[in-house]
Amino acid sequence: MWRAFMGLDSDRYPLRGYGDLYYRVHGPLSRHLVNFAQGLQLLLFVAVLILSNGQAISQISQGPNGGAGLCFVVCLVIFMAAGFILGQIRTLQRFSWIANIAVYLNLLVIFICMGVAANSLPNFTATQRSYGDEFGPGPIRTFGGTPPDGFASGGSGFMGSLNGLNQAVYSYGGCLVFASFLAEMRHPHDFWKSLLIAQVFIYVVYIFFGIFVYSYQGQFTFNPIQQGLSPYSWQTATNIISLFSALIAAGLYGNIGMKVLYIEVFQEIFNAPPLTITRGKVLWAVMVPIYWALAFIIGAAIPQFSYISGLIGALFILSFTYTMPAFLALGYWIRKDAMVEGEERFDPATGRYNHVDSGFKRFARGYMKKPLFNTWNVIYLLGGLATTGLGMYSSIEGLIGAFSGKSVATSFGCASPV
């Protein structure tokens, strides 16, 4: 992606996002498809945040003795209403200082959860309500490889491993915004510095945190982890901290997702007014509640956090992080290497590039300039597609199992899954 960005960006025709890269290499239809997928993914991100924080509000409302608490769907509505207000912020600049705070809040939750998990039992009530009675009180088991049947919340050991892979992709997949970061940075190599610092930080923290908590809670490890703590006081403290950081994340996802849909769909296709004028600002204010309401409907209809987040990880994040960059690289290098120096040129008067040939002959010439590199990208692309298919299969099978009566949570219901 970095190579393609450096080869295609210019002062006169700047690249602003993922869709622009695809537009230059694969044409306008690919840009619309990428932008639509990006907007849909961000909508689903918001749905997952509504669901996870609705669960947090539900746990807080139940009290230390595990009372009935608020109706679960009401808990989702409360977080959605907060999003209505936060979504009225149109510029990302106003999020910048508060987004830094979210990182440190998440770290605080991680440290608290590690300390509590090491000194208390898992939240068996939450695992039973979400995954069925077989995930009730019992001996804690941990496995270095694929867990056997009955020790994975995703069903069989193989399915559980795939669902775990989906969660890993959900945590580490950041390619969706790489092009946007590159567009904002003054020096191209600043991207590499930022990427390496951020990725090393995330890997060290997440890998250590995941192994640490799993070593104490085993098959009863709950996602999100703060809702798997059994002491009510610590559960409530971490839920409240997470609510603040999640609101920030929801505001960011909602803002970027709304802008993608507004600029790329409503402005470009339906001639909506720009956001800089009054009519555009009014339309934005009207669309924000609709956007959040759609996210609420998705979250309330599928009240299974791990499975819906896993499905998003498999279908979108895995595709944006692995499959689509490989397809972009193939298109970019084949088109670039197919050029014939001295015989082909761009005519600025007509805005057209004069090709000496087309079709399979041109494709083969471009491909054979870097045969090993291009073949590796084909293998990488196919591997990404295969993993996407497996990830979707495991998530959908998990959702089917969740709706088979094992979980107490139902679509738009009052019973809480935690």
What is residue 109's predicted lDDT score, i.e. its pLDDT? 94
Which distant-in-sequence residues (6+ apart) come within 8 Å of 97 by Cβ? none
Can you tell me whether residue 206 is helix, strand or coil?
helix
| DSSP assignment string, 341-386 | TTT-EEETTTTEEE-S--THHHHHHHHHHSHHHHHHHHHHHHHHHH
The closest alpha carbon to 159, from 350, 58, 310, belongs to 310
Is pLDDT above 90 for 412? no
Confidence of residue 110 (pLDDT cuts 50, 70, 90): very high
Helix 28-62 crosses helix 72-86 at what angle (to 10 degrees)?
130
What is residue 369's predicted lDDT score, i.e. its pLDDT? 93
Burial status of residue 80 (CB atoms within 10 A of its CB: 0-12, 13-18, 19 or more): buried
Contact 344, 354 (CB under 8 A): yes
Residue located via tokens 């970061």? 181
What is residue 238's predicted lDDT score, i.e. its pLDDT? 94
**Structure token pair of residue 286:** 């009207």
Confidence of residue 172 (pLDDT cuts 50, 70, 90): confident
Between 369 and 65, where is the model more confident?
Answer: 369
Q: What gap in Å lies between CA 172 and CA 157, rounded to an integer?
A: 23
The closest alpha carbon to 305, from 127, 62, 80, 110, belongs to 127
Say how many C-beta atoms besides its own lie within 10 A of residue 227's C-beta: 22
Between 54 and 418, where is the model more confident?
Answer: 54
Can you tell me whether residue 216 is helix, strand or coil?
helix
Q: What gap in Å lies between CA 220 and CA 149, rounded to an integer?
A: 14
| Count of CA atoms in the C-beta half-sphere (13 A) of 73 | 12
Compute the average pLDDT of residues 195-213.
89
Compute the average pLDDT of residues 210-239.
91
* pTM of this structure: 0.81
Contact 248, 68 (CB under 8 A): no
Q: What gap in Å lies between CA 291 and CA 165, rounded to an integer?
A: 29
Contact 305, 224 (CB under 8 A): yes
Can you tell me whether residue 230 is helix, strand or coil?
coil
Q: Where are the domains of the chain?
A: 2-340+353-406
Is pLDDT above 80 for 134? no
The closest alpha carbon to 373, from 319, 318, 333, belongs to 333
| DSSP assignment string, 61-73 | HHTTTT---S-HH
- The yes or no reply on domain 2-340+353-406 and CATH 1.10.3470 is no
